[in-house]
Amino acid sequence: MRKCLVVSTLLATLAATSPSFSGATNNADSSPPVVIASWQQDLSVQKRSLGARYPTAELLDAVGVWISKNFDLPIAVRPRVELVTQDSLTALRYRAVETDQNAALGGEHDVVAVYDDSAETIYLADGWNGATPAEMSVLIHEMVHHLQNRSATKFECPQQRETVAFAAQELWLSKFDRTVESEFGIDPFTRLVKSSCIQ
Ligand SMILES: [Zn+2]
């Protein structure tokens, strides 16, 4: 009974939030996708050494501008980016759960990235190189948290920060006919639950 109530409340939330997402996609995103050009240029330069690597300053800037244009968040100074081991990501995730300060992407045993509010740092897995749309989408997701943090956007609960982070990730992946579900196995309903204060 209680489960049904939660489900219907979540579906109502989805219905209420959907128009603003489609609006953002249709209006602001009609401009040339500079971020894709920047990403592809970056990749062609880096092609020789596509091992693990840090995103360049130019790429971070392009991602920030793209998010800002599409999701009504102000551009901010660049975050720090660290590539860390899987164990470190898992530890950071536990700290995130305890403090409500950080936002982690991924499940308990497969954390793919964490953003730390106080350190203003994006932590990516140490194999990250941004060569695929999915990897870039992880950076985009975490960059949303950075822009939210820097702009001191207020939320009813920490989970609510995920709504725009997933929407940005989804919009990016849609340029390559991919989805958060196809790349990360996170279906829209699970995404909604992760973004909801009702937990
Ligand atoms: Zn997130």
Classify residue 74: in a domain, yes or no.
Answer: yes
> Distance of alpha carbon 66 from its chain centroid, rounded?
13
Q: Output 49 or 36, whichever has higher pLDDT.
A: 36
- The model carries a pTM of 0.77
Classify residue 199: in a domain, yes or no.
Answer: no
CA-CA distance, 91 to 132, in Å (whole number)?
26
* Count of domains observed in the chain: 1
Helix (H, G, I), strand (E, B) or coil at 163: helix
DSSP tag of 159: G
Report how far ligand 1's centroid is from the alpha carbon of 3 (Å). 24
Classify residue 14: in a domain, yes or no.
Answer: yes
Give me the residue label for tokens 């991924």: 106
DSSP tag of 189: H
Report how far ligand 1's centroid is from the alpha carbon of 19 (Å). 21
Report how far ligand 1's centroid is from the alpha carbon of 191 (Å). 10
**H/E element holding 124?**
strand 121-125
Report how far ligand 1's centroid is from the alpha carbon of 48 (Å). 31
Residue 134: pLDDT above 90? Answer: yes
Q: What is the DSSP string of 16-71?
A: HHHHHHHHHHHHGGGS--HHHHHHHHHHHHHGGG-SS-PPPHHHHHHHHHHHHHHH
> Which range of residues forms the domain containing residue 189?
2-194
For the stretch 11-42, pLDDT in tens is 333 333 333 333 334 444 444 467 777 777 77
The CA-CA-CA angle for residues 28, 69, 198, to 5°, reads 95
Classify residue 186: in a domain, yes or no.
Answer: yes
Q: Output 24 or 162, whichever has higher pLDDT.
A: 162
Residue 186: pLDDT above 60? Answer: yes
**H/E element holding 105?**
strand 102-105
Length of the chain: 199
Report how far ligand 1's centroid is from the alpha carbon of 30 (Å). 25
Q: What is the pLDDT of residue 97?
A: 64
Please list, in sequence order, all residues whose beta carbon lies within 8 angstroms of the beta carbon of residue 158, skipping any fewer than 6 positions away: 100, 103
Please list, in sequence order, all residues whose beta carbon lies within 8 angstroms of the beta carbon of residue 122, skipping any fewer than 6 positions away: 79, 80, 81, 82, 113, 114, 115, 139, 142, 143, 145, 146
CA-CA distance, 70 to 73, in Å (whole number)?
8
